[in-house]
Amino acid sequence: MARTARRPRRVVPGVPVSPLLDIRELVVRHGPRTAVDHVSFTIDPGETLGLIGPSGCGKSSTAMAVLQLRRPDAGEVWFDGQELTALDERRLRPLRPALQPVFQDPYGSLSPRHKISDAIAEPLRVQGSWDRTTGPARVAELLERVGLDPAHGDRRPHELSGGQCQRAGIARALACEPKLLVLDEPVSALDPSLRAGILNLLAELQERLGLGYLFICHDMALVRHFCDRVAEMREGRLVRTTAVTSPSPPR
């Protein structure tokens, strides 16, 4: 894998940073099975926390609860100073755009029937920020921001490569002006030659926009390469959280 820029976070000494995301004693059950068992962690603005562990240890269940796509069975999710777990759906709705997922399967995250430009415009329409005059230029700007030609907006997902499609998915997430991206194995389905490009894009967006990332992954080398801290899960529990002190050597 080509070298990916992991830049040190801009932290002003002596100035405390309030966490963007604060997960407290999170519990998610699927029927009798406890998938997430009293998990706690924080993510600061501009920070990347890697969440790693074997298949079935509860990473995606944690992600779904963070996104509030699955309400947890116990525990608290605090985001940007608000307790999401205390809000009903009506009060949660305006906060949802700030928490955006990017999933593993780039084709599965976009409707096969719709043009890429429509997929990116949809969150703008839903939020009521779509304007027929300025909207298309905003979509073009988002496509350019993720390294796509605005002409790609006229294509459908199957007419793009996996890497281009993942970039379009990221553009759609950015349309919501998020503060946190939940990246669930965002490069695992991609050809290794495309992975560094997506990771570099994510690093650049984080630098520019100060986004927090929850980066879910199976691959410890990749997590150490890309993240500021690493949280390890086993059988639903968080077994350790460690800071990544120095970037892994180039391969």
Ligand X SMILES: Nc1ncnc2c1ncn2[C@@H]1O[C@H](COP(=O)(O)OP(=O)(O)OP(=O)(O)O)[C@@H](O)[C@H]1O
Residues found near ligand X in the complex (CB under 6 A): 30, 33, 35, 53, 55-61
Residues 214 and 53: their CA atoms lie apart, in Å, by 14
Smallest gap from residue 54 Cβ to ligand X (A): 7
**Phi and psi (nearest 5°) for 241?**
-125, 125
| Minimum CB–partner distance for residue 226 and ligand X (Å) | 17
Minimum separation from the CB atom of position 212 to ligand X (A): 20
Nearest distance, CB of residue 218 and ligand X, angstroms: 6
Of the pair 138, 218, the CB lying nearest ligand X is at 218
Q: Which is nearer to ligand X, 26 or 35 (CB)?
A: 35
Rank residues 7 and 30 by Cβ distance to ligand X and give the closer one.
Answer: 30
DSSP notation for 156-187: -GGGS-HHHHHHHHHHHHHHT--SEEEEESTT
Q: Which is nearer to ligand X, 144 or 235 (CB)?
A: 235
- Cβ atoms of 6 and 222 closer than 8 Å: no
